[in-house]
Structure 1
Amino acid sequence: MKTKTVARIKDVSIMLIDDAEKLVPIKPICQALEVNYSSQLEKIKSDEILGSTVPLRGIVAADGKEREMACIPFKLVFGWLFTINPKNVKAEAKEQIIKYRLECYNALFNYFTDQGEFLEQKQKALEKQLEEVERLRVDYSDQKKLLNEARKTLNDIKEMTFEEWQMDKRQLALDFPN
């Protein structure tokens, strides 16, 4: 089982256990934030989503000894951290928690509003491109007619005989006003 440091909080390494699924021990995070580990573990276990994801894993602790620790999947750590109430942490960690929660609010806002902005811009681009395609289709149709007329004239010129040319040359051309 490999471990990897994914974050540091107040000189405490937050480790990622890289086995079949990536897991993060809860206790070192609680200690670093100076929040009550037992109450956080109970809160996690009673959560509809997090509760079913808390396995115990043997972890090498900071003192080098292996201990069983409750873990949660790495992909859920950020959501759990968001639920920590700044009122429940010591004064030294309160500012970090508030800053983190604000970043989460901003990330959620950006995720959901950026998607709407993307769809709006995509729709405008689609409408503009559809207009351009239609304009080019009409231009192509007009140019195709002109090309066909030019080919017909070219073929008429190719097929013209000397005799036809002579007869045409002798014709009197009169321009009548419309």
Structure 2
Amino acid sequence: MTKKQKIVAKINNVSIMLIDGADKLVPIKPICEALGIDAKNQRTKIQNDEILGSIGVLSTSVGADGKDREMFCLPYMYALGWLFTINPKNVKAEAKETILKYKMECYTALFNHFSDQSEFLEQKQKVLEKQMEEVERIRNDYTKTKNQFNEARKALNEVKEMTFEEWQLNKRQLTLDFKN
């Protein structure tokens, strides 16, 4: 099966490729070279990481020279997190600003993800409480109205059932005493 490659990023004019086979993998060596950091040290760091160590793999990729090379790769999703761990003090000068900008974007994305969720939950709780109060108010109004309706229906049935003799005994009155 032929693996396709596509550019997913550029670091210092170096194309970062995504190996698009069964898994979307990113070779770390070209990234390390673009940043001016040691690829072997980064591979060791990744392999010692509790999460990244279990997902780093060797995969064949076309190198910069056009030849197939076996490269240590991370799944694309995890490569983005690994980049966040790179210390800007350790990269070459022209890559430092890019790494700092990337880290700031990561901090912003994390904050937005978790604070937006927290804000959503707070707003939801407030709306739920307000709506529960409204439901309770309407239920109370409904109970009161239902009781009034039942009393009016009872009085209506009393009128329907009143006989001529009862009317005469009631001093010829058909008065109903509605209770409001």
If the length of structure 2 is used for normalisation, what is the TM-score? 0.80
**Corresponding letter in the other structure for 2:48:** S
Q: How does 1:18-167 map to 2 (within 5 A)?
A: 18-160=20-162, 163=164, 167=168
Gaps of 5+ in 2: 176-180
The residue that corresponds to 2:14 in the other structure is 12
SS of structure 1 residue aligned to 2:117: helix
CA positional deviation for 1:28: 1.8
CA positional deviation for 1:97: 0.6
**Corresponding letter in the other structure for 1:136:** I
For 1:172 and 1:51, how far apart are their aligned partners in 2? 92
Alpha-carbon RMSD across the aligned residues, in angstroms, is 2.5
**Corresponding letter in the other structure for 1:8:** K
SS of structure 1 residue aligned to 2:73: strand
The residue that corresponds to 2:178 in the other structure is none
1-10 or 130-139, larger mean C-alpha shift? 1-10
Is this contact kept in 1: 2:159–2:174, CA < 8 A? no
**Corresponding letter in the other structure for 2:106:** C
Q: Deviations over 1:96-115 (max 9, x none)?
A: 11111112222222333333
Gaps of 5+ in 1: 174-178
The residue that corresponds to 1:176 in the other structure is none
SS of structure 2 residue aligned to 1:170: coil
For 2:166 and 2:66, how far apart are their aligned partners in 1? 106
**Corresponding letter in the other structure for 2:95:** A
Question: What number of residue pairs does the alignment pair up?
Answer: 172
If the length of structure 1 is used for normalisation, what is the TM-score? 0.81
